[in-house]
Structure 1
Amino acid sequence: MTADALAPVAGPALDALDALESEAIHVFREVAGEFDRPVILFSGGKDSTLLVHLAIKAFAPAPVPFPLLHVDTGHNYPEVITFRDELAARYDLRLEVARVEDYLADGRLTERADGTRNPLQTQPLLDAITEHRFDAVFGGGRRDEERARAKERIMSLRDAFGRWDPRKQRPELWNLYNGRHAPGEHVRVFPISNWTELDVWRYIQRENIELPPIYFAHERPVFSRDGMWLAEGPWGGPRDGETLETRSVRYRTVGDGSCTGAVESTAATLDEVIAEVTASRLTERGATRADDRMSEAAMEDRKKEGYF
């Protein structure tokens, strides 16, 4: 027998998106096999919508074997909430909603002076995890978004109080994931950690994934604050000296309306959005999220307390 006959036969080469998809699907299946009560954090944004698409692929033709959880600040954009509900209904997914409004109404939380509710999501999230006994919580965090998220492993342990300690990150060698946890602890799981914003958009285009229209250019009344275009809404604004202007904008990320800004854009198609993202030198959170500008370690501090 010749040496050529003993050589391994090469299979079809995976392109970058195929490899990222394969890794994410592997993570979903690993968690489904290792944990008892996983859940997908789902806001209706592009990254969590991508997670749902990957989960459907991972388990088809069977249904996705775990529910969705949204921590609703009450200050979300209406287009996103409508999309959230329609997607859950379309795929017959159970949607659990933890509402910040409920915590404000009964005094468990109080409004912040700056009006933003993003930091107020932590306690409803942790309570929902405890109430439903979720032991693995999928999130759409990516390492390219922000420096604290770059420290996370794909499986990231949280203690019994939901806290994260970056000094206790476990090694993940050869795609081997350690989901071991004690009673009361849980694991945050980030299947698209290694994706970039551009990867996300290219995959959305390839797979023809539907998104809320807020991600594409549209005319909207906005006002300028701290270098961002914010929309008026129940979260307040414009303030004295801030003037509403109708501009063509789109959102690179969605969240609490009090701190999520739009970018001026005419990108109304996937091709145009991809071209715009390719040319950008700022991450979507760095460009449009005021809550990440509170301090150099704003995100890391919140993650240590139990935030996404």
Structure 2
Amino acid sequence: MAETLAVTDNLDALESEAIHIFREVAGEFDRPVILFSGGKDSTLLLHLAIKAFWPAPVPFALLHVDTGHNFPEVIEFRDKVVAEHGLRLEVAHVQEWIDDGRLQERPDGTRNPLQTVPLLDSITAHKFDAVFGGGRRDEERARAKERIFSLRNAFGQWEPRRQRPELWNLYNGRHRPGEHVRVFPLSNWTELDVWHYIERETIELPQIYYAHQREVYLRDGMWLAEGPWGGPRDGEALISKTVRYRTVGDGSCTGAVESTAATIADVIAEVAASRLTERGATRADDRMSEAAMEDRKREGYF
């Protein structure tokens, strides 16, 4: 009983903080936008935004940078949620930037790093001055350094030395023309918090997050799915396994984990026992170097 009360109190505090952040942004900025992919963190972010302004509609548009290599189940879920809530979704298709020469395909086939330019171009084109993201500090070391209000310069770059203190839940949204602020209402949540909250609020997610049968192949210690991003290569055999995804993104670098967790309760038990973060366990793009995420953030990545 005491443990249940502690979890409830913690979730109430996290929810209250996130709702406060949404309302602060609505009061401080002119054109905020929510990054929404249909993944669990962005779905949670949208759920909190709806709560923050209910019964009024969410006063922000949604933006998704679509690599073209996303899992079909997640894209279908994204479009379903947008339609159900009558939201406005802007989609920046990486393929369009490739087609007109603004980007080039990478030799390794992954498009995850290619999201930065379409993201920054979209922020500039729509004059967004605050961009909500679902990043959490427990995911990765570079994200642990970032403030809830993270100032980005006129090139969309993150400059750690310009991070501002955030004392007593006071957030500084000041920025010069051309700059914008990334906002992370889930900064203080953990993966386990996210799942406990999803259970409490009965939030629907793409079924890809729960155990299912899928054809996968092993590469660099990760189970990857066959898709338009290429693979398997010579010597990489497709095997049918019971897997689920802890995080979803570009299919070329997002791995599945072997799992029989078919319900939220099963997932919570599995996450509680895990000693690897979701990105550390399943994201090949974070393994490119010790500072892979920080390098990308300095270029303007999420």
Q: TM-score range by the shorter chain?
A: over 0.9
Matched residue, 2:162 = 168
Give the superposed CA RMSD: 1.0
Match of 1:298 among 292, 295, 299: 292
- Does structure 1 residue 145 correspond to structure 2 residue 139? yes
Q: After TM superposition, give the deviation of residue 229 of structure 1 in Å.
A: 0.3
For residues 94-173 of structure 1, what are the structure 2 equivalents within 5 Å?
94-173=88-167
Amino acid of the structure 2 residue aligned with 1:204: I
Q: Distance in 2 between matches of 1:205 and 1:137?
A: 27
Amino acid of the structure 1 residue aligned with 2:157: R
For residues 14-163 of structure 1, what are the structure 2 equivalents within 5 Å?
15-163=9-157
Q: After TM superposition, give the deviation of residue 119 of structure 1 in Å.
A: 0.3
- Does structure 1 residue 283 correspond to structure 2 residue 289? no
Taking every aligned residue pair, what percent have the same amino acid on both sides?
Answer: 82
Q: Distance in 2 between matches of 1:99 and 1:303?
A: 20
Amino acid of the structure 1 residue aligned with 2:114: L
Q: After TM superposition, give the deviation of residue 89 of structure 1 in Å.
A: 0.5
After superposition, give the CA deviation of every residue in 1:84-129 in whole Å (9 maximum; x if it has no partner): 0000010001000001000111111000011100000000000000
After superposition, give the CA deviation of every residue in 1:41-63 in whole Å (9 maximum; x if it has no partner): 00100000000000000000000
User: In structure 1, the residue corresponding to 2:173 is in which secondary structure?
Assistant: coil
Q: What TM-score do the two structures reach when normalised by structure 1? A: 0.96
How many residue pairs end up in the alignment? 297
User: In structure 1, the residue corresponding to 2:215 is in which secondary structure?
Assistant: strand
Q: Distance in 2 between matches of 1:203 and 1:187?
A: 26
- Does structure 1 residue 202 correspond to structure 2 residue 196? yes
Matched residue, 1:248 = 242
Matched residue, 1:239 = 233
User: In structure 2, the residue corresponding to 1:15 is in which secondary structure?
Assistant: helix
User: In structure 1, the residue corresponding to 2:172 is in which secondary structure?
Assistant: coil
User: In structure 1, the residue corresponding to 2:45 is in which secondary structure?
Assistant: helix
Q: Distance in 2 between matches of 1:129 and 1:110?
A: 21
Gaps of 5+ in 1: 1-11
User: In structure 2, the residue corresponding to 1:175 is in which secondary structure?
Assistant: coil
- Does structure 1 residue 274 correspond to structure 2 residue 268? yes
Q: After TM superposition, give the deviation of residue 168 of structure 1 in Å.
A: 1.3
Amino acid of the structure 2 residue aligned with 1:143: R
Matched residue, 1:181 = 175
After superposition, give the CA deviation of every residue in 1:254-292 in whole Å (9 maximum; x if it has no partner): 000000000000000000000000000000000000000
Q: After TM superposition, give the deviation of residue 37 of structure 1 in Å.
A: 0.2
- Does structure 1 residue 193 correspond to structure 2 residue 190? no
Amino acid of the structure 2 residue aligned with 1:144: D
Matched residue, 2:206 = 212
- Does structure 1 residue 227 correspond to structure 2 residue 239? no
Amino acid of the structure 1 residue aligned with 2:77: F
Q: Distance in 2 between matches of 1:269 and 1:97?
A: 31
User: Based on CA coordinates, which of the two structures has the bigger radius of gyration?
Assistant: 1
Q: What TM-score do the two structures reach when normalised by structure 2? A: 0.97
Q: Distance in 1 between matches of 2:212 and 2:85?
A: 28
User: In structure 2, the residue corresponding to 1:222 is in which secondary structure?
Assistant: strand
Displacement over 6 Å in runs of 4+? none
Q: Distance in 1 between matches of 2:273 and 2:87?
A: 36
User: In structure 1, the residue corresponding to 2:223 is in which secondary structure?
Assistant: strand
After superposition, give the CA deviation of every residue in 1:59-85 in whole Å (9 maximum; x if it has no partner): 000000011000000000000000000
Amino acid of the structure 1 residue aligned with 2:244: R
